Structure 1
Amino acid sequence: MVGYDPGAQGAPLAAEEAALAGSAAGMVTRAIINPLDVIKIRFQLQIESLSTARPTGKYSGLFQASRCIHTEEGLSAFWKGHVPAQLLSICYGAVQFASFECLTRVVHDMTPFDSQTSGVHFMCGGLAACSATVVCQPLDTLRTRFAAQGEPKVYKKLTHAVRTMWRTEGVLTFYRGLSPTLIAVFPYAGLQFFFYNVFKRLLTPPPFAGKSGENIRSLICGSGAGVISKTITYPFDLFKKRLQVGGFEEARVHFGQVRRYRGLADCVVRIAKEEGVRGFSKGLSPSLVKSALSTGLTFFWYEFFLNALRDLKESRGVKDKR
């Protein structure tokens, strides 16, 4: 079980060990799910007017978008923005899980609440995600820009993107979309940890399952938690992506219509007016697939690496005693 648990077997892990396990989990998960992230972002940035009877966007479905991207841009296009995305995942995983472990320890040490309850996990998970978001938002903006651009590329590599954005748009451009991100990330991450805790309590593996059964349980519980939390908070992810590509219109022209929004409120109003209620759920299908895989794999690998660290500490302890 994630979070500080005084009843767990073995010595509790330090924050730096939780950070190491979290960053490793983020790195492995990102390498697997990056193609779905690229497809999701392409859908989120697609403008389709309500005045037309049929959808006018370039992409019309998960498989059609996959074929289109592969045909026009090649297989490597599914890993566009992978370097900043990988840095984001490593950094985010480290900060989020280290913060979560620290916060649940504080709850245990300084309050009368049980640190392993679902409600505590909701609050600590949400706060941990907010801290990770503030630290990692520039990498998220860079990841979105790279995934959004087609051919020819506006940004050739990460350092070129950083220099160009800094020079032409200023330092605050790296924090575009921060407001909807913070509004959404607290309930999104909080619900992830909440439902993960609930599902793990409900899905008790049989005694003979061993560690393999525990790992599969983590994957299933994480996937379920990811789908539910993403469905509830999805529109804010859409708003964030639309705001993050502001000032980047030249790279989006051949994908269809482009928009420049003055802020979060303007973004919400114009999407509702121009694209209707359906506009708030663009990219939801690939996003749910991605969220199920991403959240499930993140918790799976996090608990996997935590157990590996615990086993390593125990083996070293046995050697020291000899």
Structure 2
Amino acid sequence: MVGWSKTNENLSQFDFALAGGGSGLITRALCQPLDVLKIRFQLQVEPIAHGSVSKYRSLYQAVRLILHEEGVKAFWKGHVPAQWLSISYGVAQFWAFEVLSRNAHHLGLSGKWSPLLNFACGSVGGGVATVVSFPFDVVRTRLVAQSDHKKVYHGTLAATREICLREGPLVLYRGLWPTVLQIGPHAGAQFMCYKLFDDLYKYIIGTSRTTLSSSLVAGSMAGLCAKTIIYPFDLVKKRLQVQGFQAARAHFGKHFTCHGLVDCFRKIYKVEGLMGYFKGLSPSLLKAMCSTALHFSSYEMICNLLAYKSR
């Protein structure tokens, strides 16, 4: 169903947007705890290692500590803006990808060029989705990053209002530049790898239909490959998004201050070394595999349902 095919030629642009939004909602609801862990690791300056004096030293230790200090609800911190982020991103990404794919097919650009076509359409779709959804990402990161002992924001609307009044509306797009740099290859690689792994899976089991199992396997592999490629940019984006927000992070260790994309990359390497760019990679890869598998499979199933109803 992802990309043009005879089975989805009766679906409208609204159907693609609806399926994309639904897949974003389902994925976020199930994968939010992994996102919270990833962000906590990404924002920690101290080493993530056993025997260190860091607040978070491993995935297991971090889960236990967050449960002890903040309770189960902490794993869904920032869930409301995160849902708006996922829904708006899913709507824009899949809508743009499907429209571009359909137009490319009508122009006769599919066939042997399909992998490159999927990469290009996925890149453009990811860029459009990023611009549309980015303010929700900033608000979500601030809510996840703040300490329960020193709360600055009390809810999504309050956070948005406080950020705009105290720091200006443009702060809602802080970190957009590294995101734009990462989202092209990331989204492009996701769609290209998904189609390649989906075709490979179907070839191995001897079927021409995309099934739930094929989309889950292809989605998880696509998420693993794409996330590994762009991870340092994702970490830098999170560091930029919490600049000017250090007071609420007093219980999380050292403050990290930088001025722009290049300075952030330079300071991470100077203070934390090369591996500093990959902090939180384990929960991030786990999340990427789960979320991408859910994202594509739920989108496929919703499209199948819409296509069946339109017959």
Tell me the TM-score normalised to structure 2 length. 0.95
CA contact (8 A) 1:105 1:115 kept: no
Q: Return closer, same or farther for 1:81/1:288 CA change in 2, 3 Å cut-off.
A: same
Q: Return closer, same or farther for 1:104/1:116 CA change in 2, 3 Å cut-off.
A: farther
CA contact (8 A) 1:126 1:187 kept: yes
Aligned: 1:2 with 2:2: yes
Q: Return closer, same or farther for 1:115/1:165 CA change in 2, 3 Å cut-off.
A: farther
CA contact (8 A) 2:50 2:57 kept: no
Aligned length: 309
Residue of 57, 60, 65 corresponding to 2:62: 65
SS at 1:12 equivalent: coil
CA contact (8 A) 2:7 2:307 kept: no
CA contact (8 A) 1:107 1:114 kept: no
Residue of 155, 158, 170 corresponding to 1:157: 155
Alignment match, 1:320: none
State the distance in 2 between where 1:298 and 1:68 align.
29
SS at 1:203 equivalent: helix
State the distance in 2 between where 1:94 and 1:2 align.
14
Residue of 232, 256, 262 corresponding to 1:259: 256
CA drift of 1:49 comes to: 6.8
Counting only pairs closer than 5 Å after superposition, residues 1-322 of structure 1 correspond to structure 2 as 1-5=1-5, 8-9=6-7, 11-48=9-46, 55-110=52-107, 112-114=109-111, 117-152=114-149, 153-204=151-202, 206=205, 214-314=211-311
CA contact (8 A) 1:2 1:303 kept: yes
- CA deviation vs aligned residue, 1:225-282 (integer Å, no higher than 9, x gap): 1001101110000000000011111111110001121100000000000000110000
Identity %: 47
Q: Return closer, same or farther for 1:10/1:81 CA change in 2, 3 Å cut-off.
A: closer
CA drift of 1:297 comes to: 0.4
CA drift of 1:10 comes to: 5.9
CA contact (8 A) 1:41 1:147 kept: yes
Flag structure 1 segments of 5+ consecutive residues without an equivalent. 315-322
CA drift of 1:53 comes to: 11
- CA deviation vs aligned residue, 1:268-312 (integer Å, no higher than 9, x gap): 000000000110000000000000000000001000000000011
CA drift of 1:57 comes to: 2.1
Radius of gyration: which is bigger?
A: 1
CA drift of 1:54 comes to: 5.7
- CA deviation vs aligned residue, 1:143-181 (integer Å, no higher than 9, x gap): 111111121321111111011101110011000100000
RMSD between superposed Cα atoms in Å: 2.0
Flag structure 2 segments of 5+ consecutive residues without an equivalent. none
CA drift of 1:119 comes to: 1.2
Tell me the TM-score normalised to structure 1 length. 0.91
